[in-house]
């Protein structure tokens, strides 16, 4: 495919959904803080073609284009194609001179950001369990929705641990943040309405998950692995 925007790309992109490769290109570009123009220049292409790849679900870039994009985005062709989507991150080799750094509370809060996917550790009748949840940060507390009969609901009224992390497979670096505190159910109608208005994302699992839980942080710690 030539590296220019096809005649119908603008209308197709406006009404279509992004394909897997396009989403991964856009996500990686945003992780690096790059604009389309900067990425296109690095990859030796034009911004309109990069926009087409990111926004058109039927886009099928050739191997040569993916190699240049992977190099520009400091990742691999396999990663852009989703080759590791069903594998846990971190299978790559460690960097030559890694450095483990303790994060300040402010840095931890910045990495928690506003929302994402984290893991909550809870005690259940069959023992400790760790499960992922889609969370938001509202008023400095971690909040999420679940179902009354789901595993995360067991956290209500108990001390829990909540963890988020990010792994940069291409550069063998990453970070993790751990929140410890008491989880409580939020049932007051006004408080629930406030959470519904301010929470950024809902449960990916779908279904009737209307039980709100809030973790009030008693301690926030974190570490990062960087390359010297």
Q: Find residue 136's DSSP bridge partners.
A: 115, 143
> Domain limits of the chain?
9-80, 98-227
pLDDT at position 16 over 60: no
9-80 is classed CATH 3.30.110.60: no
Q: Tell me which residue of 9, 174, 191 sits closest to 92, measured CA to CA.
A: 174
CA distance 33 to 56: 22
Burial of 135 (0-12, 13-18, 19+ CB in 10 A): buried
Assessment of whether the complete model's pTM goes beyond 0.75: no
Q: Assess whether pLDDT exceeds 60 at residue 175.
A: yes
Report the C-alpha gap between 14 and 140 in whole angstroms: 36
More confident residue, 94 or 209: 209
Mean pLDDT of the chain: 85
Instruction: Name the token pair of 30.
Output: 């945003």
Q: Which CATH class is domain 98-227?
A: mainly beta
pLDDT(134) > 70: yes
């Amino acid at each position: 495919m030539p590296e220019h925007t096809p005649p119908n790309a603008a209308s197709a992109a406006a009404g279509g959904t992004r394909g897997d490769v396009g989403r991964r290109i856009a996500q990686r570009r945003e992780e690096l803080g790059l604009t389309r123009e900067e990425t296109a220049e690095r990859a030796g292409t034009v911004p309109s073609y990069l926009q087409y790849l990111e926004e058109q679900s039927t886009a099928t870039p050739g191997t040569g284009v993916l190699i240049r994009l992977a190099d520009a985005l400091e990742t691999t062709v396999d990663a852009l194609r989703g080759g590791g989507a069903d594998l846990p991150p971190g299978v790559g080799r460690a960097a030559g001179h890694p450095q483990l750094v303790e994060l300040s509370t402010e840095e931890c809060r910045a990495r928690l950001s506003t929302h994402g996917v984290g893991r909550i550790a809870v005690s259940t009748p069959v023992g400790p369990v760790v499960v992922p949840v889609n969370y938001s940060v509202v008023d400095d507390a971690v909040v999420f929705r679940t179902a009354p009969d789901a595993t995360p609901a067991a956290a209500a009224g108990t001390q829990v641990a909540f963890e988020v992390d990010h792994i940069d497979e291409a550069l063998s670096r990453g970070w993790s943040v751990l929140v410890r505190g008491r989880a409580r159910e939020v049932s007051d109608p006004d408080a629930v309405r406030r959470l519904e208005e301010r929470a950024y994302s809902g449960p990916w699992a779908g279904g009737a998950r209307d039980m709100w839980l809030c973790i009030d942080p008693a301690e926030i710690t974190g570490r990062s692995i960087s390359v010297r």
